[in-house]
Amino acid sequence: MTFFSNGEDREKLSVLYVLKLAGIPLSKEQIATVMFEHGYENYITLSELLIELEGNACIATIPSYRIQTVVLTRRGEEIIGLFEKNLPLSLRNAISVQISSSIEDFRRENTAQMESRFHSEGNFSTRLSLVENGEPFFEITLKLPSAKYTRIAEKRWNELNKELYFNTLLALTNEDADETSATVCASEETIPTTDIEVKK
Q: What is the mean pLDDT of residues 63-85?
A: 86
Which of 73, 82, 15, 18 shows the shortest CA–CA distance to 48?
A: 15
Domain boundary among 91, 110, 129: 110
Residue 194 counted as domain residue: no
Q: What is the mean pLDDT of residues 16-20?
A: 95
Residues facing residue 129 across a β-bridge: 113, 139
Same-domain pairing of 27 and 119: no
pLDDT category at 1 given cuts 50, 70, 90 is very low
pLDDT at 53 over 80: yes
The percentage of residues in the chain with a pLDDT greater than 70, rounded to a whole number, is 80
Same-domain pairing of 99 and 122: no
Q: What is the mean pLDDT of residues 15-19?
A: 95
CA–centroid distance for 23 within its chain: 13
Position 22 scores a pLDDT of 93
Mean residue pLDDT across the chain:
80
**Cα separation, 128 vs 159, whole angstroms:** 12
Same-domain pairing of 136 and 79: no
Position 199 scores a pLDDT of 36
Same-domain pairing of 52 and 95: yes
Same-domain pairing of 122 and 105: no
Convert the pLDDT of each residue in 102-115 to its tens digit: 998 888 777 888 88
Cβ neighbours of 45 (radius 10 Å): 13
Residue 56 counted as domain residue: yes
**Cα separation, 55 vs 44, whole angstroms:** 17
Same-domain pairing of 14 and 40: yes
Which tops the pLDDT comparison, 2 or 41?
A: 41
Of 19-33, 80-94, 95-109, 168-182, minimum mean pLDDT range: 168-182
pLDDT category at 196 given cuts 50, 70, 90 is very low
Residue 20 counted as domain residue: yes
CA–centroid distance for 48 within its chain: 22
Same-domain pairing of 133 and 42: no
What one-character DSSP code corresponds to residue 17? H
Same-domain pairing of 98 and 120: no
Same-domain pairing of 87 and 134: no
Domain boundary among 110, 128, 151: 110
Position 171 scores a pLDDT of 87
User: Containing domain of residue 72, as a range?
Assistant: 8-110
Q: What is the mean pLDDT of residues 152-159?
A: 87
Q: What is the mean pLDDT of residues 132-138?
A: 76
For the chain, what is the domain count?
2
CATH of the domain at 106: 1.10.10.10
Same-domain pairing of 130 and 156: yes
Domain boundary among 62, 83, 110: 110
Same-domain pairing of 83 and 119: no
For residue 184, give every residue at least 6 positions away whose Cβ sits within 8 Å of its Cβ, in sequence order, or none.
167, 168, 171
Which tops the pLDDT comparison, 94 or 123?
A: 94
Give the three-state DSSP class for 10.
helix
Residue 72 counted as domain residue: yes
Same-domain pairing of 82 and 124: no
- What angle, 0 to 180 degrees and rounded to 10, lies between the N-to-C axes of helices 8-22 and 28-36? 110
Of 6-15, 16-25, 74-83, 169-178, minimum mean pLDDT range: 169-178
Contact indicator for 84, 98 with CB cutoff of 8 Å: no
pLDDT category at 4 given cuts 50, 70, 90 is very low
> 83-102 burial, b if ≥16 CB within 10 A, otherwise e?
bbeebeeeeeeebeebbeeb
